[in-house]
Amino acid sequence: MTTQQIVDPEKIEPELIRIWEGLAKEKMRACLFNLIVFNKLSKRTDYIRNIVQKVSEKYPCRVIFISSDAESKTPYLKTAVSVVGDGNIACDYIDIGVSGPDLQRVPFVLLPHIIPDLPVSLLWTEDPSTEHDLFEPLTKLANRVIFDSESADSLLAFSQKVSKLRADTGVDTADLNWARTEGWRDLIASLFRSGENLDKLVDVRITYNARPTESFCHLKVQSLYLLSWISSRLNWTFKKATKTLNFTFEKHNAEIHTADWEKLGPGTIISVDLATTDNLLYQCSRVRTQYHRVSIQISSPEKCELPYQFILGQTATGQSLVKEIINKGTSEHYLQMLKNLEQLDRDRLC
């Protein structure tokens, strides 16, 4: 990444041209899509910048990163430009820092710098259920809106807002925590690919990593997403839930538990245990020495099969954002999961 050059908004493009002229012999300028990022300055900002940089290095795009400072007593709007890319291929990175009433100027500042004829993805890293002046203007510019439910204070309000946005505008929606559960959804689908024993499933136990960091504190989200997906796909009828994350359905039960794995991402699912009415038990747990691998043990009172492994995929920084950018459309499973989540989290367990 080149050193950021602070410029006036009207000089963004000339300054980028100047930077590229200095790099002409070393770098190839590339752009697959536009990526607009909105973030309020906080302890999570460095984390968000890191994953965006990882994405832009893997898939060159024009990044327009908006940082809003709600604590500043002095209104300002500052812009800076740089070039991102460690190899021969690189892309533009435009920073917009803003506070106070100058927020209203942001859509007009960034609009000339969206590359025409290329898709526009918006990464909204804040809680969409909280009103913000830039939410509607920026979502109108996007073909795809990606949320981070880690920012939501209420999953109930979050799911209602995202569902309403999709219903009202038809814009493609995505979610970083949904992407983080993809491997586990694939694993569970593979266990019951033939349909055998699926209707006998009666108990679910999910364990997640409860080690918080400055960037992650709402650690139950991925586990609730996975449970909501399972119960929505199997049409379970929800009855009640407790603050200790015990869930009762009409004919089924589920529990969410915690563990502490130091080197695993916070909130990441560690294991899933599934039991059937005829006492068949599926025990699926990450391998401690290789976190992207899951050991699967299927047993019953009469027999115990040899364990085998399932590869979830790497959990590298930024990988969930990559998945949600390159995917097309809106997952119907995701929308159904959100609708089901409104019941599971109606007592605001998360």
Q: Tell me the per-residue pLDDT of 297-349, one tens digit each, with 9 for 90 and over.
A: 999 999 999 999 999 876 555 677 777 887 888 999 999 999 999 888 765 65
DSSP code for 119? -
**Overall residue count recorded for the chain in this entry:** 350
Residue range(s) defining the domain that contains residue 28: 5-142
pLDDT at 158 over 70: yes
The verdict on 340 and 220 lying in the same domain is: yes
Q: What residues have CB less than 8 Å from 174, skipping those under 6 apart?
A: 144, 145, 146, 147, 324, 325, 327, 330, 331, 334
The verdict on 138 and 185 lying in the same domain is: no
Reported as half-sphere exposure (CB side, CA atoms, 13 A), residue 256 has a value of 26
CA–CA dist 193, 30 (Å, integer):
41
Give the per-residue pLDDT at 316: 54
The verdict on 95 and 186 lying in the same domain is: no
Residues forming beta bridges with residue 67, ordered by sequence position = 39, 97
pLDDT at 350 over 60: no
The verdict on 203 and 98 lying in the same domain is: no
The verdict on 212 and 258 lying in the same domain is: yes
Q: What is the pLDDT of residues 44-97, one digit of tens each?
A: 899 899 989 888 988 999 999 999 998 888 999 999 999 988 778 999 999 999
Give the per-residue pLDDT at 3: 83
128 in Cβ contact with 156 (< 8 Å): no
The verdict on 126 and 222 lying in the same domain is: no
Please say which residue of 85, 115, 142 terminates a domain: 142
User: Residue 218, SS3?
Assistant: coil
Work out the number of other CB atoms within 10 angstroms of the CB of residue 70.
Answer: 11
Count of domains forming the chain: 2
137 in Cβ contact with 169 (< 8 Å): no
The verdict on 306 and 194 lying in the same domain is: yes
Give the per-residue pLDDT at 348: 62
The verdict on 204 and 292 lying in the same domain is: yes
Give the per-residue pLDDT at 71: 87
| Cα 155 versus chain centre, distance | 14
Q: What is the pLDDT of residues 130-140, one digit of tens each?
A: 999 999 999 99
Give the per-residue pLDDT at 240: 93
- Computed over every residue of the chain, the mean pLDDT equals 91
CA–CA dist 114, 320 (Å, integer):
24
Query: Which residue type, as a one-letter code, is found at position 342?
Result: E
- How would you label 177-188 residue by residue, b for 16+ Cβ within 10 Å and e otherwise? bbbbbbbbbebb
The verdict on 265 and 186 lying in the same domain is: yes
